[in-house]
Structure 1
Amino acid sequence: MKNFLEALRIQRWDDHRYYHHCRINQSLHLLSAICFLISYALLFVNPAWAALLAWLVSMVARQSGHFFFEPLGYDHVNEASNEFKEEIKVGFNLRRKVVLLSIWVLLPLVIYYFPGMLDVVPTHETWVEFSEAVGYSWLALGVGGLLFRTIHLCFIKDVQTGLVWMIKILTDPFHDVYLYHKAPLQLLRGQRFDEAFLHSAQ
């Protein structure tokens, strides 16, 4: 258990120090985390709407922070190139995220234009039924993506790395609220980047 918790701490620290220099990104992660926590609660009430909230708000906010606001050049804090960071990324690096998000975008189109196809694609008569069908498909995508990468890591790394990553992903919303709850205020004070990043870049 001690080794497991230490591995979890390292994965969390690497994720923070490599990919969360920008206060805008941190603030978007805070918004994402809060919405994910609401989604966790909604899972027990309406799983489809929980998935819609998680993907449309939480994931859009989270990935927008990475794609549009996080510096992609040389990381002076960690003395690492962006290519190096992408190569050692335990979870979904930018390339894997593009694949995942492409499937996310395509699923509603498949459901809308090919209802009932091969008795796999859900049918729908109203916009509410369509929304619920999309929600359930996105829930399956989220669970499937999590399990696929976990099993993949178990084979290419080891079982502990895979399980640690899965626990990290599932608990990230709690940890992000703790880690980034001050980010919006720091951003309003004019701190565009983490102080450690600013000092290192000077």
Structure 2
Amino acid sequence: MNEFLKALHVQRWDDHRYYHHSRINQSLHLISALSFLAAYAMLFVDPAAAALLSWGVAMVSRQSGHFFFEPKGYDHVNQATHEFKEDIKVGYNLRRKIVLMGVWALSPVVLYVDPALFGLLEPHADMRGFVHNTSLIWLAVGIGGLLFRTVHLFFIRDVQTGLVWMTKILTDPFHDVKLYYRAPLYLLRGELIDPRHAQHSAQT
């Protein structure tokens, strides 16, 4: 158990120090984390609504922070290139995220072409039904994406790495609130980059 918790700490620390320099990204992660926590609660009451909130708000805000606001240049604090960080990323790096988000974005198109989704769903009769069925597909995409990468890590790394990563992903909302609850305040003060990284950026 100590080994597991130590590995979890390392994955969390690497994720924070490599991929969360921007205060905008940190603030978006806070929005994402709060949305995911609300979705966790809704999951037991209305899974479709939970999936809609998770993908429509939590995932969009989280990945927007990474794609549009996080610096992609040389990381002087960690002495690592963007390419190096992408190569060693345990979970979904930007390339894998593009694939995952692509599957998510195309899901409504598949449902439009085949409303029954090969007999797995009751065909929608109106827009509300279409949104409901889309949300169920998004729930399946989310669970599938989590399980796929976890099992993939079993083979390319080891079982513990996969289980640690899955645990990290599921508990990230709690951890992100703890880490980034002050990020919006820093933004209001005009601080766009975490000072640790801003000082090094100013020197180059």
Q: Would you say same fold, with TM above 0.5? A: yes
Distance 1:122 1:108, change over 3 A: farther
Partner of 1:20: 20
| Residue identity (%) | 63
Partner of 2:65: 65
- Give RMSD over aligned pairs: 1.0
Partner of 2:42: 42
Q: How does 1:86-165 map to 2 (within 5 A)?
A: 86-120=86-120, 122-165=122-165
Residue 118 of structure 1: CA displacement?
Answer: 2.9
Structure 2 gap ranges (5+): none
Structure 1 gap ranges (5+): none
**Counterpart-to-counterpart distance in 2, 1:40 and 1:172:** 12
Deviations for 1:44-76, whole angstroms, at most 9, x for unmatched residues? 110001000000000000000000000011111
Contact 1:111 1:121 survives alignment (8 Å): no
**Counterpart-to-counterpart distance in 2, 1:88 and 1:137:** 30
Letter in 1 for 2:69: F
Contact 1:86 1:94 survives alignment (8 Å): yes
SS of the aligned residue for 1:112 comes to helix
SS of the aligned residue for 2:92 comes to coil
The number of equivalent residue pairs is 202
For structure 1, which segment, 112-121 or 141-150, has the greater mean C-alpha deviation from structure 2 after superposition? 112-121
Provide TM-score, normalisation by structure 2. 0.96
Distance 1:197 1:108, change over 3 A: same
